[in-house]
Amino acid sequence: MDGVPESHNGWTFLTNHARVLAAIADNQSARVRDIAARCRLTDRAVQKIIVDLEEAGYLSHIRQGRGNSYQIDPAKILRHPTEAGQGLTVASLLSLLIHDEAHRTAPSGEPTHSPG
């Protein structure tokens, strides 16, 4: 996978649940195996995370043919008491995590905003 760092040991800033949610937000019809590859998780781990997110009301799915189409509830308040107390939503989290090249680079390939 291009641009994806090799695996590492130790802690990270994002949970696997956040990574899976961001991957689904980027492609609502992604297959579990594609989400797993993107997040560097096993298919089974992604399936469990999807179940967790659905049970908590952050995510739902509709069967479409042999695949699923996922729907995220952007208004759902984040779970941790610190974020929940501030009323931070899934939409606010995803706005930081979703990588959208169309908004980050101009047609010339130059950044549309200054770094830092």
Mean pLDDT score of the chain, rounded to an integer? 84
Whether 90 has a pLDDT exceeding 70, the answer reads yes
| pLDDT, position 98 | 79
Which residues have CB under 8 Å from 35's CB, separation 6+? 20, 23, 24, 41, 46
**How large is the average pLDDT for residues 6-18?**
83
Domain segments of the chain as ranges: 16-99
CATH match for 16-99 among 3.40.50.1970, 3.40.1280.10, 1.10.10.10, 3.40.190.10:
1.10.10.10
Higher pLDDT pick, 84 / 52: 52
**How large is the average pLDDT for residues 83-94?**
92
3 state DSSP class of 20? helix
Neighbouring C-alpha atoms within 13 Å toward the C-beta of 2: 0
**How large is the average pLDDT for residues 95-111?**
58
Whether 116 has a pLDDT exceeding 50, the answer reads no
Write the pLDDT tens digit of every residue in 46-78. Answer: 999 999 999 999 999 999 999 999 999 999 999
Cβ 18 vs Cβ 93: under 8 Å: yes
Cβ 69 vs Cβ 30: under 8 Å: no
